[in-house]
Amino acid sequence: MKKAAVALSCALAASAAHAAVDQEKVDALFRAGLAAAHAGRHEIAIRDFRQILGDVSTPRLKLELARSLYLTGRFREALALFREVYEAPGTPQAVRRNILPFMEEAELRILRVRFGARVVTDTNPSKVADGGTIYFNGIPLEYQPPARRRTSYGLEPWFSVEKLWQNGLLTKFYGSTRIFENSDLDTGHIQAAVAKEMSFAPGLFLQAAVDTEISKDNSYVLPSIEVWKRFRLSDRAGVGIGGQIGYMKSEIDVASGGFYRPYVFGDWTVMPNATLFATLSAEYLDSRNDFYTYVSPKANVGATLSFSGLDVTPQLTVTRTNFKEYDVFWGLKRQDTIWRPAIAVSWDGMEWNGIRPELNIFYEKRDSNVGIYKYSQIGGFINLTQVF
């Protein structure tokens, strides 16, 4: 018994000594890898980090290895490690925020392809008012809307491709089509854009784009130039400013004209699982005919909340549209206000072969000082998205 105890003690001592030697070796390789990475010798750093990854698979080691892989152009391997750390439950929000730009660029360098489909339902897709009696100079008139108000169901498939090239150009393409039972409600949307970060001002982006929408009565093409810059206030907050200028060519020729949209935006992570965001903008269309000219300030505020794998994003958008021309028929200048509360819900545990559903529900109401332009609608869609 005594001999057995002595043998066990010797074995434990030898094991402890071996563990100490292994830990010293791990620490030495990690320090050597850091030194190589800081000196720009990333191939050596990758070799050292990989030697110890199986023994010490810590978030710090994975991030250092991912960074060296990223800087040597091995974007797929880097992205896999960045995602592994980002999605770990214990990763601090500040670390996640720092990882995001690397993940974004790694995806874009590879070729980011997204696609999905939305199953749509809408109680008033034509956005028409209820029929009834309206008054013109005290004279009652019967008004009937141009389309019947009824709930419709549809499908909206969409597809996007983005690529960041070696010269720093970012090319983007997005296309979608909304298909309803009533073909008069069908629409299509296409956007093609080229963007680049300005070398003389880091964080300043310039984009040239063409937006096209196709619908039964109001198709248009909008080529534009857009510039924006984001400022990092802290690990938890950031703000930005931007502007867009273009020319809208409308199917209704006299509605065509110059298009201008300045905006500011920001976000603030108030807790590890809660981020507030807001955007303020002012849209101005200077149409050839003043009947279609308007100024439209818009405010969008919301929050992104995450808990137990559930992501919830409530938000509110308020849009005020002031038309320029005095309408002699109504004896006033038309003014509309659109209220749109909405909520999006998804759960990372509900995913099949890379397809993750997201439920979106909204209510939209337009108030107007001209009664025939008032409407309300309730809608929703399930967005089926291919997760990269």
Distance CA 260, CA 287 (A): 11
In this predicted structure, what is the pLDDT of residue 134?
A: 52
Contact assessment for residue 185 and residue 154, using Cβ atoms and an 8 Å cutoff: yes
What does the pLDDT look like over 267-300, one tens digit per residue?
999 988 899 999 999 999 999 999 999 999 999 9
Q: pTM for the full model?
A: 0.72
Q: What are 112's strand-pairing partners? A: 162
Start-to-end Cα distance in the chain: 61
What percent of the chain stands above pLDDT 70?
84
3-class DSSP assignment, residue 33: helix
- What proportion of the chain, given as a percentage, has pLDDT over 90? 40
Please report the pLDDT score of residue 144 as a whole number: 53
Q: How far is CA 254 from the centre of its chain?
A: 34
262-269 contacts, C-beta under 8 A, 24 or more apart: 264/239, 264/240, 265/239, 265/240, 265/241, 266/237, 266/238, 266/239, 266/240, 267/237, 267/238, 268/236, 268/237, 269/93, 269/97, 269/236, 269/237
Q: In this predicted structure, what is the pLDDT of residue 140? A: 55
Residue 121 has pLDDT above 90, yes or no: no
pLDDT (0 to 100) of residue 15? 42
Query: Is 50 exceeded by the pLDDT of residue 1?
Result: no
Residue 59's pLDDT is 87
Torsional sign, CA 194, 199, 205, 207:
negative
- pLDDT for position 145: 52
pLDDT at 312: 95
The structural domains of the chain, ordered by start, are 20-109 (1.25.40.10), 111-386 (2.40.160.40)
CA–CA distance, 243 with 228 (Å, rounded to integer): 6
pLDDT confidence of residue 385: 65
pLDDT exceeds cutoff 60 at 131: no
> What does the pLDDT read at residue 344?
93
pLDDT per position as a tens digit, 241-253:
999 999 999 999 9
Looking at residue 154, what is its pLDDT? 82
Q: Check whether 146 has a pLDDT greater than 60.
A: no
- pLDDT tens digits for range 10-64: 443 444 444 444 778 888 888 888 998 899 899 988 898 888 887 777 888 898 9
Highest mean pLDDT among 117-131, 166-180, 244-258, 321-335: 244-258
Q: Which residue has the higher pLDDT, 98 or 303?
A: 303
The string of DSSP codes covering 190-221 is EEEEEEEE-TTSTTEEEEEEEEEEE-SS--EE
pLDDT grade for 5, boundaries at 50, 70 and 90: very low
Which pLDDT score, from 0 to 100, does residue 162 have? 92
| Mean predicted lDDT score pLDDT of the chain | 83
pLDDT digits (tens, 9 = 90+) for 329-346: 778 899 999 999 999 998
Reference 210, options 166, 160, 246, 239; nearest CA is 246
Of 322, 378, 379, 373, residue with least CA distance to 128: 373
- Between CA 13 and CA 19 the distance in angstroms is 10
Between 380 and 318, where is the model more confident? 318
